[in-house]
Structure 1
Amino acid sequence: MDKSARRNVNLELKRRGEMKFGIIGAGIVGTALAVRLEEVGHECIGVHTRSDRSYQRFRSYLNKDHLSLEELVPAVESLFITTQDGVIRSIAETLSVRALIKSGQSWIHCSGSLPSNILRVEESLPVSCLSLHPLQAFASVENALAIISGTHFGIEGDNEELGEGIVKDLGGIPHRILPDQKTLYHAGAVVASNYLVVLASLAVELFAEAGIQGEEALASLLPLMRGTLFNLEQVGLPQALTGPIARGDVQVIQGHLNHLSPRLVEIYQSLGSKALELGESKKALQGITYPLEEFELLKSLLRKSVQLNDN
C-alpha cells in the first residue's frame, strides 16, 4: 500500500475509530490480516492457536501474546476465525458452550465456501457474523503480505459495512455476494485458480506427446498463458478469445479431435463448447455471426456423443 493510500486509510480510521481485534488460527491468512491491520492503526490484542509452530511464525511477524480463549474473546470487538474450514463451526460452538459471548462483537471467518451463518450456532447469539474471503492464492505469509493490497474480497453477512471497511483498510477491493449462492462463487474461484493449473498440466501432457517434455513444456507454455491473461486484462471477455474456434476453423478442430487420446476427447469437447459460446458473443460484438454451415459443423464436432476416428 503506497503512502497516499495509507494516509486515506488513516483518515477513515479516525472517522470510524480504531478496532481491537483478535485472531483464532495463526495460518497464512490470519497472520497477514493481523500484520496489515496493525500497520494501518488497528490493535491486535492477541492470538489463539493450537499449533506452537504457527504461533512462533505469527510472532516473528507480529509480537503479540498467545492468549487463551477466555482471555482473548472478551477483550476484542472483532474476532477473526481464520482456521481451516472444517473447524470454523466447532470454534463457534466452543465459544457458545463456554459462554464466551460478548454482546455486539463481530465474528469473522475467511472461508470462500462456507456462509457467514455457519458461525451462528444459536439463533439468539448477540454477535454479528461476517465472512471476508480474499480472492487470491496465498502461497506464504510473505506472499500474502506482498499482494493482499489490491486483492478482491467476497463479503457477506450481518455487517457488510464493517466488512467493506476492513477490506479497504487492507488495501483490498470489496464485493458483496449472495449468501445462498456462495458455493457458486467459490466454484468460480476454483475454476479460475485451481483449474488453471489443471489446464496447464493437460497442455504439458499434450506437448509431451509432441516431443516437448516436462519442465521444457511448461516453460514454453507460460509466456502464452501470461499473454492470454494480459489480453483478458486489456480487452476482457469475450474479446480475449483467440484461436481456431474463435476463427471458425473447422478443419483444425477436427484434426485435434482425431489425434487426441480417447480419454481427453470429452474434456476437449466440453471446453470447446464453452469456447464456441464465447466465440458467438465475440462475433456479435463485431456485428457478425459464424457462417451457418461452419457453426453447425463446429457444434457437431464438439458434441460429446460424436464418434471420432482415433489415428
Structure 2
Amino acid sequence: MGDTKQSSLNIVGGGHVGKVLGRQFAAAGAFRIQDVCNRTLASAQDAVDFIGSGRAVATLAQMRPAGVTMLAVPDDQIVAGCAQLVQAGLLGAGSIVFHCSGALSSHDLAAAREPGAVLASVHPVRSFADVAQVAAQFAGTFCSVEGDAPAVDALRAALERSGAQVIAIDTSAKTLYHAASVFACNYLVSLMDVALRTYAAAGIPDDAARQLAQPLVTETVANVFRLGPAQALSGPIARGDWATVAKQQRAVDSWDPQAGALYELMAELTAELARRKAGLAGGGA
C-alpha cells in the first residue's frame, strides 16, 4: 500500500460530501488539496474556505492535472462529469479517479480507462445534513470502497489516515448495499413521518407526538443494535395478538389507505421476524 501523503487531489463538486472529505484529507495530510471546482467561483471558494486549502476554480478548463480526482457531484452527473474530465485532459496513466455515490459503482467511471486512470468509489455512511457537525465528528465513520485494486489501496490508506473505518465491498453488490443504507436512513425517516401523522390523526398535537415517539424510537434502535432485531421486537405481533393487529389495520385503512397498505406490509414482515424470534427462543430452550 503506497503512501498517499504527497498525492495531489482535485475536487469536482464542492457540496456537502466534497467539503467534508476534502477537509478530512487535508487535515490528516492524506492528500494535498490542489483545485476545487464547483458550479460558480463563489461556491468553489466557499468549499475551499471550509476545507482550509486548495484553489477555487469555476471550470474544468482551469484545473491542473492531479494524482487523484474526486467527483463529488450528484449521481446523475457522474458519467458526464467523468467524460468531461477525460476530454479536458485531466486524467492520465495511473491517476486515480473516484466518485462518492452510494448507488453507483466504479464501472460508471469507465470513460476514464481510455487515458489509463484507475477507478474507485468511496461512500461515507453518514447523513451529511450538517457538514460542520459531520466534519467535527468524522473519526470512526464507516466508508465503503470498491474498484480497481491500486485505487482502493490508495484510498483506503488516505481514509484510514483521516480517521475513517474502511469496508471493501463487491462492485457487483453496490446497488444492493446502497439500498440497505436507504432502508436504514431515508426510509426510517419516512416511517417516522407516518407514525407522527398517525398520532396527529388520533388527535395528538405535533409537539406531544414527537415527545411520545422519541423514547420509543431511541430505546428500540438501541435494543436493535444491542440485541439484534429479533430480540428487540415487542408489541402485538410478537405477542401473537392478531385481534389487535386486525383492529389497527381497519383503523389505519379508514384513515389513510396508503398508510394502511404500509401497515399491512409491515405486519407481514414483522410476523416473519416474530417467527425468527420464536425460533431463537426455542433453540435456546
Q: Tell me if both proteins adopt one fold, taking TM over 0.5 as the criterion.
A: yes
Choose from 204, 220, 224 the match for 2:216: 224
Aligned to 1:266: 261
Return the offset for 1:24.
0.9
Which segment is superposed worse, 222-231 or 234-243?
234-243
* 1:203-235 Cα deviation digits (max 9, x unpaired): 112111222022321232122111111112211
Q: Distance in 2 between matches of 1:38 and 1:218?
A: 39
Matched, 1:37 2:25: yes
* 1:27-80 Cα deviation digits (max 9, x unpaired): 111111111111111311121112234223213321421245355342x21111
Q: Distance in 1 between matches of 2:71 and 2:128?
A: 17
- SS for the counterpart of 2:97 is strand
Which segment is superposed worse, 63-72 or 272-281?
63-72
Identify unmatched segments of 5+ residues in structure 1.
1-11, 290-311
The amino acid across from 2:34 in the alignment is I
Matched, 1:283 2:261: no
* Identity fraction in percent: 29
Q: Distance in 1 between matches of 2:61 and 2:260?
A: 57
Aligned to 1:187: 179
- 8 Å Cα contact 1:109/1:132 also seen in 2: yes
* 1:62-121 Cα deviation digits (max 9, x unpaired): 1421245355342x2111111111111111111222333221110010001111121111
- 8 Å Cα contact 2:103/2:174 also seen in 1: yes
Aligned to 1:294: none
In the alignment of these two chains, the number of paired residues is: 276
The amino acid across from 2:128 in the alignment is F
Choose from 244, 248, 251 the match for 1:256: 248
Return the offset for 1:16.
5.6
Return the offset for 1:126.
0.6
* 1:237-285 Cα deviation digits (max 9, x unpaired): 3222221112222222122123222403221111111111111112212
The amino acid across from 1:257 in the alignment is Q
CA pair 64-100 structure 1, distance change in 2 beyond 3 A: closer
Aligned to 1:72: 63
- 8 Å Cα contact 1:204/1:213 also seen in 2: no
- 8 Å Cα contact 1:28/1:144 also seen in 2: no
Q: TM-score, normalised by structure 1?
A: 0.82
Q: TM-score, normalised by structure 2?
A: 0.88
Q: Show the 5 A alignment for 1:1-311.
A: 17-42=5-30, 43-61=32-50, 62-67=52-57, 69-70=60-61, 72-74=63-65, 76-121=66-111, 123-159=113-149, 160-262=152-254, 263=257, 264-287=259-282
Q: Distance in 2 between matches of 1:163 and 1:275?
A: 40
Return the offset for 1:122.
5.7
CA pair 273-53 structure 1, distance change in 2 beyond 3 A: farther
Return the offset for 1:286.
1.5
Q: Distance in 1 between matches of 2:33 and 2:20?
A: 12
The amino acid across from 1:118 in the alignment is D
Identify unmatched segments of 5+ residues in structure 2.
none
